[in-house]
Every structure is written in structure tokens, then in C-alpha cells.
Structure 1
Amino acid sequence: MAALTLLLGAEAAVAACGTDEAACEVDLGVYHAQVPEGDIKGAILYLHGFGGSGEGALGPRDWVNTALARGYVLIAPDGLPIAEGRGRGWSFVPGRPERRDEHAFLRSVRDDAAARFGFDADEMILSGFSIGGSMTSYMACEAPKSFAAYAPVAGGFWRPHPTACSGPVRLLHTHGWTDGTVPLEGRVLRGGDATNPEALMQGDIFYTLRMWREVNACNQLRADRFVTQGPFMRRAWDRCAEGSALEFALFPGGHVVPSGWADMMLDWYESL
């Protein structure tokens, strides 16, 4: 009876909001949602890339179908409008004015979605693509206890890099070997070249990994495990702070969410 009540409650919530026609609203913004058929196993809060939207992020694609089939509710909030006709983004770049308290917004989406769709807020993964991956990384650094695990794709810190984070995390970073939009070494977006401290520059993913090793108190520089499965070459650090987890997955591609990512990421998360 309790299971039936939960299912009916989730169906009513879906009817009320989360569809293309009616986004769910919280104080600082809106989000979209897709709910799997059958039992709910967990949830992924997914942040779109530059110029995207929550609705667009949940369009038909490989990782969306995989996650739904595995029983995960998908939550995709809208970033802030960038400029007319340029879509949306996230307010996280160091030294730039804060346009919204993104941490408060994402936590409010987490709690509202958990109440609406009937899952445990403590079992939500935060993920994102490109600048959504960057926003994911900053949330993991500055408020690591906000989500159960973090899974950025093709996005990390920007320059100037953080010099410290708040505590250990469970994090899997995925990146394309030939990514030219967010290269592994970063790139200058405007303001001259890398010698100009005022230039707007993406960060170095290798520096990001060093930061995570320090944050997680990993006692060795080199990885403890190397796993090649499908297109992914993974490095894992195991001798780290209790309860933490750190892996890096490279794939032979560019600036995309690669095929097979959802299965790999969820296998990682469920094994923690």
C-alpha cells in the first residue's frame, strides 16, 4: 500500500510539473524532470552546457535512456540567461560578479525534486556537461556534502584555480582526449593570451586532479588502479580519506558526453 501511495504521488507530481509545458519552480529558478517507469533507484541532477537549457539536456539521447532504464530520476535545472539569443549558463567564474547563489539554487532543486518525485535527497548525484561540469566541480569543492557523488563531464575549474576545497568528495571526472572546446590543459577565451592575468581562461584538468588528490588526502601521486573498459581508460585513487572516491576516465573523443558514459558512471556510483 505504501509503495502504491508513493507511485501515485510521483505520478501526480509529474503531471503537476517537470514536463516541457510546465517546469517545476523553486525560489531561484526552474527545473525539468523525467521519471523512470517502475521502481526509483536514485536520482541525477544534471547541469546543461553553455547556451543550453534543462529541457534540452533531457532530450532523447543515449545517456538519458540508459539512466531512466536503470531507475534514476533525471533532474535538469535551467541556468541563467547569458544574453539575448545565446541561451543559458552558470554563475561560477572566479572574480566575476555572482548573478545567483547557485549552491542555494541547486540544493533547493535537490530538496524540491526529492519531495515531488519520492526519492531520498541524500542519494542524488550531481553531474553536468562542459560549463555544467565546471559548476559541478565548484559545488564539489565548496559544498561537498550537498550531494552523494559528483560526475563532471568535459568541465573543471577555471583560472585562477582554487587553492583549497572544503572536504573529501566522491568524484568521477570524464573527459575526451581530443576535446578542443575544453582542452585538458585549458584555453584562453578572451583577453589576449595565457600571460595576461586578466584574461578569461579555462582551467587545467590535470591541476584539477591534483587538487582532488589533495582534498581526498590520497597518500600517493600515482593511481592505484588502471581499468580499460570499452572506450574508457580509467585511473582510480583508492588510498585516500575514508568515504571518499576519486576516478578519472579518458575516452578517445572530443567535447561530448560519450556513448556508454551513463552505465560507466552509475556502475561506479553503485559500487561505492
Structure 2
Amino acid sequence: PVERGFVWNVPGVPTIAGTIPGPNDADDVAFMTETIDALADQGCIDPSRVYATGLSGGGRMTSWLGCAAADRFAAIAPVVGLRAGRPDRRDPQRPDPATCRPSRPMPVMAFAGDADTTNPIQGGGAPYWSYTMHAAEQRWAQLNGCAAPRPTVWVTAQVYEEGYAACRDGADVVGRITAGGGHSWVADNDAMWAFFAARTRPQN
């Protein structure tokens, strides 16, 4: 927390206070990518199989890693936090394309609850949450060159799945919505792992 001298910060992503980190603030993307590189250099991880997930602000951070560090991650899975860049200043109901330009198609599996009042799937709330989850999914589908929407299907009595398929390099976009789910860990961990395990990042 800020009062203890710490603040969560991802460059380009508003903090909880709604401010955009400046050039002199800590760079969490650099920290993440340098950590990945160090672990790979030590032989601790397979660099083609690095994934990101997180809840709420961590979900927004995960989304930003997909935008800004697609050369390090094989897939992302934001939980109650899917974004595709900052809201457009001229039309906050849409993501600003200039603020999310991944270097390669990024597979995305996002989880949310339709009763979340902090990051509502219908948008609104904090300024950084102006556009809907559907708008975020659509933007990732554009970025990934997806050719077709997925049919919406109920995967359990409380959870339905939507999104886009036939994407470049298998970079599908999947949204799983929990009916009645709030601002909490609504993710299906097994489904998330299956999505991750099926994907590797092409190596240069």
C-alpha cells in the first residue's frame, strides 16, 4: 500500500489511484522480463512456456504484459481484469489501439463474474475501466487476426464461454463468465492450465 511506501505500478497502466506512472517510476514490465530472462539463463524455466495470470489489478497487469511483453509470454489469463490498452480519450467506450501493440499474437483466456461491481463486464466504474469486457475481447481478436466468433456455450450450470477462434498462431481469445460471480477468483484453474499447456511461444 502507498502509506507503507509501496505502490503497484505497470508503465502505461493507471494505478489504483487512477494516475499513469511516469518515466521515473519503477518499471514492473522490465522487472518481470528481466526475471524471466534470468530464470531462463539459469535453466530454471522453459522460456517458451511462460504464462501470466492475476486478479483485479493483477489482471490488468496481466493484460498489459500481453500488450507490452508478448515476446516473453506464451499466453495470458486475466481474472476480473481483462483490458486491451487504455480507453480512447475521444471515445472511452473503446480501447485506444495505440496503447496496446503486441509484437505477436497473444492467446488470451479471461475470467470474470457478471455481478462484479468493481470491474463490471459492462464497463463503467473507474476511468481505466470505461469499456466493456466484450470490447476488450474484440480488440484482442483484431490484434490476433481471429476469423470467427466462438459460439457462446454454457460449460457448467453457472459458467458460459464466449470469444473468438481461428486466430493466427492458435492465439484464440476466450472469455469465461460466471453468472452471479463477483470481484473474486472466479477462474477455473484446470481450464486455465489446459489453455496454457496447449500453447508455447515461438522462439527466435
TM range (shorter): 0.7 to 0.9
| 2-structure distance, mates of 1:162, 1:146 | 23
1:139-182 Cα distance to aligned partner (Å, 9 max, x none) = 21233222111010011334333315233111101111100111
- Conservation of the 8 A alpha-carbon contact between 2:141 and 2:172: no
Instruction: Tell me the secondary structure at the aligned position of residue 172 of structure 1.
Output: strand
1:83-117 Cα distance to aligned partner (Å, 9 max, x none) = 21486422333672332222211111223344568
Q: Which residue of 1 aligns with 2:62?
A: 136
1:153 paired to 2:90:
no
Q: Which residue of 2 aligns with 1:270?
A: 197
Question: What letter corresponds to residue 184 of structure 1 in structure 2?
Answer: I
In the alignment of these two chains, the number of paired residues is: 179
Aligned-pair distance for 1:210? Answer: 1.1
Q: Runs of 4+ in structure 1 displaced over 4 angstroms?
A: 114-117
Instruction: Tell me the secondary structure at the aligned position of residue 151 of structure 1.
Output: strand
Q: Which residue of 1 aligns with 2:9?
A: 90
- Conservation of the 8 A alpha-carbon contact between 1:234 and 1:247: yes
Q: CA RMSD in A?
A: 2.5
- Conservation of the 8 A alpha-carbon contact between 1:226 and 1:236: no
Larger Rg: 1
Q: Which residue of 2 aligns with 1:75?
A: none
Instruction: Work out the percentage of aligned pairs sharing the same amino acid.
Output: 24
- Conservation of the 8 A alpha-carbon contact between 1:227 and 1:235: no
Instruction: Tell me the secondary structure at the aligned position of residue 155 of structure 2.
Output: strand
| 2-structure distance, mates of 1:87, 1:154 | 23
Question: What letter corresponds to residue 36 of structure 2 in structure 1?
Answer: R
- Structure 1 unaligned runs (5+)? 1-50, 52-82, 190-199
**Greater relative contact order (Cα < 8 A, sep 6+):** 2
Equivalent of 1:247 in 160, 174, 196: 174
Question: What letter corresponds to residue 233 of structure 1 in structure 2?
Answer: Y
Change (3 A) 1:136 1:203: farther
Question: Higher strand proportion, which one?
Answer: 1
| 2-structure distance, mates of 1:255, 1:118 | 34
TM-score, normalised to structure 2, is 0.75
1:176 paired to 2:151:
no
| 1-structure distance, mates of 2:197, 2:158 | 20
